[in-house]
Structure formats: C-alpha cells, structure tokens
Structure 1
C-alpha cells in the first residue's frame, strides 16, 4: 500500500472537513474514510495538529527544520571537539 504524504496545511484542512462531516451526523470512521484516511490516522493527526491553524503549522514546520539544523551542528561540533581533544592528548 502506497503511503501518501500530506502537508501540515492539508492535514489541518482534512481535520476541519471531518469536524464538518461529524456535525452533519456522520461517524468519525465514515468521515475519515470520506477524506481518504483511516480512523487511526485521523486520531493521530488530531492529537498532533488538533488545535492549530495554518500559521501555527507553518511556525511548527520552521521550528522543526531549525531544530534539525541545530542538532546536526551540535553533532559536528562534538565530533570536532573530540578530535581536538585526541590531538591535544597525543592520541592521533
């Protein structure tokens, strides 16, 4: 089965669609199937993105990208630091 990648903005739109469908009397499972996802996926999305709007989602995406960049930077600097310590101690 092919895994579809949704953007955060698309997920938020889908969550709102499910809310509208549920207010019209459909069950969560029916509404989730109508937007093309499983009920489990809907609940996972709702837990992760439930209270967000589009600007919050964009900010989250930017923060996650910055966090990944900083983690890589810390890993590189830690490696450089370890190499310099080894050289200073004469373990080269």
Structure 2
C-alpha cells in the first residue's frame, strides 16, 4: 500500500484555505497535488466536521443520554417481564 503524503488534518487545513477564498490553482501549485486529488479530497473531507471539538462534545452528550435511556428502558422491560411471569403463575394457580 502506498504511503500517503498528507494526513487527514493536513488535508483539512488545505481545504480550509480553499474555503477562506484561496483559488484552487494556487492551492494545487503550493502543495503539488493534482486537480483530481483536490476535488477528491473536497468531496471526501469537506463536510466531515468530526474534528470539531464542539461537535465531539455534543455527540458524547447525546451518546450518554441515549445510554441512560437504554438502561431505563431495559430496567422497565425487566420489571414488566417479572410482573408478567407472576401474573401468569397466579392465573395457572387459579385454574
């Protein structure tokens, strides 16, 4: 497998230059990449905001909230199963 010349963070820096208004030909010349490479990076990484610390924090908070919800629902489900078993046993005894 071929070694990559640019890391994901370096690619994001290059794309940020483009977003700041730097023309594509200047970027291509400065970093010695092809136009196809630039457009491939743009398609792949431009909307990737996962390195944004605020986005990561928000995702972690959402993840924690969903985990708590899952635990609560699981406990409730277990309680209902136990009650159902007791109810079924009482019906069997009554018959």
Category of TM-score, reference length = shorter chain: 0.3 to 0.5
More RCO (CA 8 Å, sep 6+): 1
What TM-score, normalized by structure 2, do the two folds share?
A: 0.46
